[in-house]
């Protein structure tokens, strides 16, 4: 009986361990023995070289940085590329019009000739990695000031980058890790001809929109398909009709097997930013100042967006991508602040710091090395607290608030050249570039909407920022009780930045913009922001942060430290699992098309669905994409560790097949970028069977189906 009880306890322990989220964003080129053992324990059947290798094709060769902010993966021998719908939304919107509303109706290229080019869109393949810490820190000494240290590191970095890049058409960047204790060089091949191939209708790709964002359960077909093109010789090239589809070095087969609890999952991608080793002061700053300020500004902006988008379908098309971008991190900060408080992250950081103090005090050498670092941190964050709110308002409500103000920023260099009477060829080159930017700007610009946004944000700015940190333009609110309606109306009536015809006339005979009211407002905001930033930067704690990171790794020698995310390729591993986020609440690990239809609201911009999808559901016409119960799985959740930038990352099974597409995290773990929550952190993924169902059964895009390698 005792033996049976012991075995039962072990089984229960394994079940609990399996339900915990798997923390860690690992550099795939340096997976160590512990990582491999953990991956194999969870079920991985691949070798390290099959995952990441410079000597043979591997999984990493199918993964790309997409568009500078997302991840994508190759899924065919001819450069077909899969990413999230919200990652490709800007390109879809740019090709849309009231006559050809690809946002609402979707887009399906029936041949390569119908695929749409996207100026400025790039994808980057990782080609080379090297630890260059020794070279970067050459000449750096412990007695240097932080300013001198930074200058020396910058000098070494620029020199090394130039040496490595040479005249080759590659991108080289050197990235700090562990708060500046390590430096790694990354080299990328950048491809500049990326064409839109397909996207689902809004009611699939954007289903749930703002209401469902950052939550589980989800019911979203969050995908978009592109194709990478190369020059005829296979090299990266700008768009040309002579370019050919990329010959993929490696691509991911798609599995129809589906998912079950406990199934191994691996994600490769480019997570953007985490701050999991920061001190308590940084957490407090987010909770009390940064988060609330961002939410207030974006709430105000979104209110104006929705008012105009709901009233006019043309405006909806113009602002769909912009609204989604603003909304995403609006809700993110709401959730992050709430969960940081709920999960007592600030208190846990204080406890960790106290443990560090005790550890450091136990050895005289450690005490001498680390003594005073928390005093530096406290001084820094006390000082920064004076500026955080104002600086965020200058960014969110100021130079990134109203669109015309943000657009005027692009003209700063040209205006300086005009006022300094620079050579005419320099002025002409700048005008040529800005004419192209102006064309793009006015295509998706609504003057009345921008007017309302600018008034609302300036009113909020004036109300919520200390007067001694306000620029001169804001102080004009003293005479109007903080109402900037007349000020903005006057500026919009006179400025060239809200009227394409006026701007084009100015291009013909350019002169100083100092008297343009929008340009003057922008310049006042930007110059004051720079002044405040310079004052805020007089105090820093980079030395303390670096030493604290070094000390943590020394104190916890048995801990397998992974670096914070910094938009470099990372591997995370975990498994499919359900979730119990709170007392008496259990979430299943999958959602189905039945759940989509349960949320369906005809005519609602968030929860409407295409009629073709409704018919397939009514007929239960799921074909081979149904699970063993006859249901069509839409989304599933895993214990993988991801963050922003992982959008579009592949979810890969134990054999290296594509089973899902990562697109979000869950509400209960919104503090995860600062503190990983092992019990509740989940990655929300689109099931590949839903992708194939949409392509095959709904869109009947057989040209795409024929390209894919599908594993039964």
- Residues labelled catalytic: 86, 222, 647
Return the closest-CA partner of residue 326 out of 101, 86, 519.
86
Return the closest-CA partner of residue 395 out of 274, 566, 496, 536.
536
**Cis peptide leading into 217, omega within 30 of 0?**
yes
Return the closest-CA partner of residue 194 out of 237, 235, 234, 223.
237
Which helix H or strand E contains 309, and what residues bound it? helix 291-311
Question: Is residue 630 within 8 Å of 620, Cβ to Cβ?
Answer: yes
List the structure tokens of 70. Answer: 């997302």
Question: Is residue 123 within 8 Å of 65, Cβ to Cβ?
Answer: yes
Cα 9–chain centre separation: 41
| Residue 115, helix vs strand vs coil | coil
Integer Cα distance of 352 and 143 in angstroms: 28
Return the closest-CA partner of residue 323 out of 336, 338, 310.
310
Contacts (Cβ under 8 Å, ≥6 apart) of 502? 495, 496
Contacts (Cβ under 8 Å, ≥6 apart) of 289? 385, 388, 389, 392
Return the closest-CA partner of residue 226 out of 246, 240, 255.
246
- Count other Cβ atoms within 10 Å, centred on residue 153: 19
Count of H-run helices and E-run strands, the chain: 29, 22
Q: How far is CA 9 from CA 12, 262, 293, 301, 565, in A?
A: 5, 19, 48, 54, 37
Integer Cα distance of 498 and 507 in angstroms: 14
Integer Cα distance of 330 and 183 in angstroms: 32
Integer Cα distance of 70 and 68 in angstroms: 6
Half-sphere exposure for 521 (CA within 13 Å, toward CB): 31
How many residues belong to the chain? Answer: 712
Q: Is the dihedral of CA 527, 528, 531, 533 positive or negative?
A: negative
Which helix H or strand E contains 224, and what residues bound it? strand 224-230
List the structure tokens of 422. Answer: 């620079």
254-255 vs 710-711, strand pairing mode: parallel
- Count other Cβ atoms within 10 Å, centred on residue 410: 16
Residue indicated by tokens 């604290």: 548
Question: Is residue 339 within 8 Å of 671, Cβ to Cβ?
Answer: yes
Integer Cα distance of 665 and 676 in angstroms: 12
Integer Cα distance of 462 and 478 in angstroms: 9
Residue indicated by tokens 């249901």: 631
């Amino acid at each position: 009986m005792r033996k049976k009880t012991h075995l039962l306890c072990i089984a229960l322990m394994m079940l609990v361990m399996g339900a915990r989220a798997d923390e860690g964003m690992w550099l795939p080129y340096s997976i160590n023995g512990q990582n491999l053992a953990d991956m194999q324990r969870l079920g991985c059947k691949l070798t390290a070289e099959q995952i990441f290798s410079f000597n043979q094709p591997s999984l990493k060769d199918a993964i790309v940085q997409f568009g500078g902010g997302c991840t994508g993966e190759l899924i065919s021998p001819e450069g077909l590329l899969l990413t999230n719908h919200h990652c490709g939304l800007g390109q879809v919107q740019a090709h849309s019009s009231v006559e050809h509303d690809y946002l609402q109706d979707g887009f399906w290229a029936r041949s390569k000739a119908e695929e749409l080019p996207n100026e400025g869109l790039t994808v980057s393949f990782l080609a080379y990695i090297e630890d260059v810490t020794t070279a970067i820190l050459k000449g750096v000494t412990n007695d240097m000031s932080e300013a001198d240290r930074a200058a020396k590191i910058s000098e070494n970095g620029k020199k090394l980058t130039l040496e490595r890049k040479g005249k080759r058409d590659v991108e080289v960047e050197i990235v700090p890790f562990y708060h500046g204790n390590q430096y790694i060089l990354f080299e990328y091949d950048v491809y500049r001809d990326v064409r839109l191939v397909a996207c689902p209708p809004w009611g699939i790709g954007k289903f749930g929109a703002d209401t469902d964002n950052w939550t589980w359960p989800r019911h979203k077909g969050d995908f978009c398909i592109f194709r990478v093109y190369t020059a005829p010789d296979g090299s990266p090239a700008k768009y040309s009709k002579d370019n050919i589809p990329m010959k993929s070095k490696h691509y991911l087969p798609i599995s129809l097997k589906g998912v079950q609890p406990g199934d191994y999952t691996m994600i490769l991608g480019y997570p953007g930013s985490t701050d999991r080793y920061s001190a308590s002061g940084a957490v407090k700053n987010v909770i009390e100042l940064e988060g609330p300020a961002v939410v207030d500004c974006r709430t105000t902006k979104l209110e104006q967006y929705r008012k105009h988008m709901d009233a006019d379908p043309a405006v909806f098309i113009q602002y769909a991508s912009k609204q989604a971008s603003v909304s995403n991190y609006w809700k993110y900060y709401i959730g992050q602040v709430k969960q940081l408080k709920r999960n007592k992250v600030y208190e846990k950081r204080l406890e960790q710091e106290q443990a560090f103090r005790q550890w450091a005090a136990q050895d005289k050498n450690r005490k001498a090395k680390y003594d005073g670092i928390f005093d530096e941190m406290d001084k820094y964050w006390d000082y920064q607290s004076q500026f955080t709110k104002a600086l965020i308002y200058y960014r969110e409500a100021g130079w990134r608030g109203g669109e015309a103000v943000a657009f005027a920023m692009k003209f700063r260099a040209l205006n300086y050249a005009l006022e300094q009477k620079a050579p005419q060829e320099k002025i002409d080159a700048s005008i040529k570039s800005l004419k192209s930017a102006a064309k793009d700007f006015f295509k998706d610009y609504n003057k009345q909407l921008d007017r309302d946004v600018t008034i609302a944000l300036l009113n909020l700015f004036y109300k919520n920022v200390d007067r001694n940190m306000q620029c001169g333009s804001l102080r004009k609110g003293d005479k109007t009780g903080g109402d900037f309606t007349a000020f903005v109306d006057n500026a919009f009536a006179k400025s060239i930045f809200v009227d394409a015809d006026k701007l084009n006339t100015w291009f013909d005979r350019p002169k100083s913009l100092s008297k343009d009211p929008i340009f003057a407002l922008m310049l006042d905001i930007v110059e004051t922001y720079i002044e405040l930033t310079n004052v805020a930067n007089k105090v820093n704690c980079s030395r303390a942060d670096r030493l604290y990171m070094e000390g943590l790794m020394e104190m916890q020698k048995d801990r397998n430290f992974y670096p914070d995310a910094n938009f470099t390729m990372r591997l995370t591993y975990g498994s499919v699992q359900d979730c119990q986020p709170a007392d008496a609440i259990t979430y299943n690990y999958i959602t189905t098309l039945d759940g989509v239809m349960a949320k369906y609201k005809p005519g609602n911009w968030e929860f409407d669905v295409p009629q073709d999808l409704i018919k397939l559901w009514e007929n239960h016409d799921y074909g081979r994409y149904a699970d063993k119960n006859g249901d069509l799985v839409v989304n599933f959740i895993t214990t993988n560790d991801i963050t922003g930038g992982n959008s579009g990352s592949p979810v890969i099974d134990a054999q290296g097949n594509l089973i899902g597409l990562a697109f979000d995290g869950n509400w209960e773990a919104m503090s995860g970028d600062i503190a990983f929550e092992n019990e509740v952190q989940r990655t929300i993924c689109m099931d590949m069977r839903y992708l194939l169902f949409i392509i095959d059964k709904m869109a009947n895009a057989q040209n795409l189906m024929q390209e894919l390698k599908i594993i039964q």
